[in-house]
Amino acid sequence: QGKFTLLRDTRTDGSFLVHHFLSFYLRAGCKVCFVALLQSFSHYNIVAQKLGVNLAAAKKQGQLIFLEGLKSCLDLLFGGEEQPGQPSPLQFLSTSDLRALFDFVRVSLAPADGDSWKGPVLLVDDLSVLLSLGAAPVAVLDFIHYCRVSVCCQLKGNVVVLVHSNEDSEDEENELVVNSLCHHSDLILWAEGLATGFCKDVHGQIKIIKRLSLRQAAAQDLVQIYQYKIQDRNVTFFARGLSAAVL
């Protein structure tokens, strides 16, 4: 409880980590606010069904609060009907801050009478999209800071955020956000594509960084590296050099 987990991917697609955490927290009975900026609800629902979770049922029961960013952007930009008294969470497209999006998260995860869920969880896929939509890096970092204070500190919940990164990229704003988030994360799961290129038996490697130095000044971060292969319904992890291609 109270942890901030950063999902980072470089030269590969780390969305399999998002699907894992989404299904994991729903099965655990947690209340989840999912800010989905990258894909549609039907996409996440199809993948979740393969993992044994029904997003539509969770949404109907009030366990899952789903913000479909693609649809919200289109409604806001092309004059979709807005419900009275409920401004769009993506108001930053016409203003300079992400306050409306934070208010959406705060209200969605606020404890309600009769709630029996175990704990609140904020899941964001993917934070880099906010920068692409015109949000300033400072506004994005402020948004995450307030979400951490509200969800992690006050509600004792968890925040899980996916960001794309490319160390050779000229996108300085995105790299600024990624590096700043790395310094504040309790746990970093960094998925990377293989430097040697495509391999049918190894789809990439994942670096697990437990930020012990965040809690203890003199402690050294614990780093573990595994390789993985994504299958239809699960992901197989193994030590480097122990894939089927080698053995």
What was the pLDDT predicted at 65? Answer: 95
Residue tagged 């899941």 (tokens)? 123
Q: What is the pTM of this model?
A: 0.90
For residues 189 and 204, the answer to whether their CB atoms sit within 8 Å is no
Output the pLDDT for position 30: 95
Q: What domains does the chain contain, in order, with CATH numbers?
A: 3-77+88-239 (3.40.50.300)
Q: CB neighbours (10 Å) of residue 161? A: 22
Give per-residue pLDDT as tens, 193-234: 988 888 888 999 999 999 988 777 778 899 999 999 999 888
Please report the pLDDT score of residue 133 as a whole number: 85
Q: Which parts of the chain have pLDDT scores under 50?
A: 84
Q: What is the pLDDT of residue 87?
A: 64
Measure Cα distances from 205 to 30, 152, 216, 226 in Å.
29, 29, 28, 6
Task: Give the pLDDT of residue 76.
Answer: 72
Query: Locate tokens 């925040």: which residue?
Result: 159
Place of tokens 């573990």: 224
DSSP calls for 154-171 = IS--EEEEEEE--TT-S-
